Structure 1
Amino acid sequence: MMNIGYANGKYVQLDEPVIPIDERGHQFGDGVYEVIRVYKGKPFMLEEHLQRLIQSAKAIKLPIQQSVEDFKALILEAVQKSNELESAVYLQITRGAAVRQHLFPSAPVSITMTVRQVAGIDTEAREIGMKAIFHEDERWANCYIKSLNLLPNILAKQIAHDAGCYEAILVRDGFITEGTSSNVYMVKNGVVYTTPLSKQILSGITRMAVKEVTESLGVPFIEKKFTPDELLQADEVFITSTTSEILPIVNVDGKSIGDGNPGEWTMKAYRKFKEFILAD
């Protein structure tokens, strides 16, 4: 098993220098990306990830010539070469390399990718639950685009880490949007609530799976704005992402959620999600 890299048609070592100094992803964050989880050698919800990638590219007028099928073939080839059964694929597309200027260059896009082994969240940590903080959402207006411009996310995530927390739950105009790298949910009186899709949040792929899991369990899944105070009064809180899957949050800003333990429904949903993975 090995971690591998790919850059514009060539497989490379991860420490091999391959990015030109005039690469626009490096200079401007002018690109988009996806992270795809691989379970037992099979990329999970690959079609959904790649459809989102194409939509993000269209939103920033990035002229990708490759089709979804082309990217599928590339990813499957890379996963096979790596022989990593439990891994994460990072696929990045930028506007390419050209002399630095703000206007779009006449240059081919740049495609890079890594396949790295991933262990996921520690079982004991998941059973204990994670802590989070609230943080002002200082990102741009188009968070539905999965762009490379993640500095506000990074800064908020670091503040959460420095406070001994796993995630920062972002708040804009008095309402929760999402986490720095996750979607946010609360469970109240047997109903799951999450922020409605808009330009202010990313349409999470795991969010799609959670909606299916929720409906399969006969639990209402409601898209509705909610405030930090409402979240603190929830019976359960959890977040989702490609790498953290369904992860219980038991404390926010030093205040316990429910009885301070992972919620019964959250853990039931997580077990159902694992079944969903095997069926994909």
Structure 2
Amino acid sequence: MTWVLWNDRLVKDEEIRLSKEDRGYQFGDGIYEVIRVYDSNMFTAKEHIDRLYESADKIKIVIPYTKDVFHKMMYDLIEANEVKTGQVYVQITRGSAPRTHQFPATVSEPVITASTKEVERPVSQMANGVAAKTVEDIRWLRCDIKSLNLLGNVLAKQEAHESGCFEALLHRGDTITEGSSSNMYGIKDGVLYTHPATNLILNGITRRVILSCCEEIGLPVVEQPMSLSDVYSNDEFFMSSTTAEIMPIVMINGEKVGSGIRGEWTTKLQVAFEAKINQTINV
């Protein structure tokens, strides 16, 4: 039996009833988070929940629970489904109301749904690396909000998928921003380069952990936009996300990056990231 969170209750999956006038369904008017689970423990739970509330504030949704209560609801969901290695997906919409583009004068409480499932770590791909394809970034200009408006991301990911690639490497003109569902990093001459946390990217939680790992292993970081025209000159390239962790990109548009295998600094970062995971498990 699969349990899901519906507002403040754990119910069976088939018991959820959502209105056709839910603004998340009609407008993508809502937010979401994905939290990694290792050994039944949420990794960087505080950071994910903090960002969820930040996204809610940015689009003027009031979450009717404290962060501590929300945290407990997520753990209750994990425990009910006995998830060991997996993820939690949580979504909040503005609620249900007669369809108008502006916020309705009266609207029901925000609708919260969350589910969890087993998701294995991509160990083989993290060792061998993956391919990426460059795709023009056509998304809106508030990518810092983790909103439900993901059509631009979906189209980019599909284009990469149809080309046999794991991820789309997004760019606005000659400027690399991020991936369709990830952050992007290049390493050149012992320095890591990544786009700064502006409105053009989502400041990934995994990204923040990686930057702290860089400090620990002595890898200098420069947060500045990378040039698409210079992407192939990187010695190493990788992406990061909640479920992909630190994923080497060894080929872009059919051309090898560096030697075409996982690089030395990327490997060191993976080891440092693994140590962070183990700290969570052993708490």
**Normalising by structure 2, what TM-score?**
0.95
User: In the alignment, which residue of structure 1 is the partner of 2:40?
Assistant: 41
Structure 2 distance, partners of 1:271, 1:109, is: 40
Structure 2 distance, partners of 1:147, 1:136, is: 20
Query: In structure 2, what residue type is equivalent to 1:112?
Result: T
Structure 1 distance, partners of 2:70, 2:157, is: 30
User: In the alignment, which residue of structure 1 is the partner of 2:112?
Assistant: 111
Query: In structure 1, what residue type is equivalent to 2:64?
Result: Q
Q: Is the 8 A contact 1:3 1:117 kept in 2?
A: no
Query: In structure 1, what residue type is equivalent to 2:136?
Result: E
Q: Is the 8 A contact 2:174 2:229 kept in 1?
A: no
The CA deviation at 1:87 is: 1.5
Query: In structure 2, what residue type is equivalent to 1:172?
Result: R
Structure 2 distance, partners of 1:70, 1:156, is: 36
User: In the alignment, which residue of structure 1 is the partner of 2:131?
Assistant: 131
Counting only pairs closer than 5 Å after superposition, residues 111-260 of structure 1 correspond to structure 2 as 111-121=112-122, 123-260=123-260
Distance change (3 Å), C-alpha of 1:3 and 1:235: farther
* SS of aligned partner of 2:275: helix
The CA deviation at 1:99 is: 1.5
Structure 2 distance, partners of 1:218, 1:153, is: 33
The CA deviation at 1:155 is: 0.6
The CA deviation at 1:230 is: 1.9
* SS of aligned partner of 1:206: helix
User: In the alignment, which residue of structure 2 is the partner of 1:96?
Assistant: 95
Structure 2 gaps of 5+ residues are: none
Structure 1 distance, partners of 2:17, 2:216, is: 46
Q: Is the 8 A contact 1:134 1:169 kept in 2?
A: yes
Structure 2 distance, partners of 1:161, 1:152, is: 14
User: In the alignment, which residue of structure 2 is the partner of 1:5?
Assistant: 4
Q: Which deviates more from structure 2 when the two are superposed, residues 17-26 or residues 153-162?
A: 17-26
Q: Is the 8 A contact 2:126 2:246 kept in 1?
A: no
Structure 1 distance, partners of 2:13, 2:228, is: 41
Structure 2 distance, partners of 1:152, 1:247, is: 22
Q: Is the 8 A contact 2:40 2:78 kept in 1?
A: yes
The CA deviation at 1:89 is: 0.4
The CA deviation at 1:219 is: 1.0
Distance change (3 Å), C-alpha of 1:3 and 1:241: farther
Identity %: 42
Structure 2 distance, partners of 1:196, 1:17, is: 40
Structure 2 distance, partners of 1:277, 1:229, is: 35
What is the Cα-based RMSD across aligned positions, in Å?
1.3
Q: Is the 8 A contact 1:7 1:18 kept in 2?
A: no
The CA deviation at 1:21 is: 1.1
1:23 corresponds to 2:22:
yes
User: In the alignment, which residue of structure 2 is the partner of 1:66?
Assistant: 65
Structure 2 distance, partners of 1:259, 1:136, is: 26
User: In the alignment, which residue of structure 2 is the partner of 1:266?
Assistant: 266
CA displacement 1:236-269 (0-9 Å, x = unmatched): 0000000000000000011110011111211221
* SS of aligned partner of 1:274: helix
Structure 2 distance, partners of 1:86, 1:203, is: 24
Structure 1 gaps of 5+ residues are: none
**Normalising by structure 1, what TM-score?**
0.96
Runs (4+) off by over 4 Å: none
Q: Is the 8 A contact 1:4 1:116 kept in 2?
A: no
Structure 2 distance, partners of 1:58, 1:15, is: 31
Structure 2 distance, partners of 1:4, 1:131, is: 36
Structure 2 distance, partners of 1:162, 1:77, is: 38
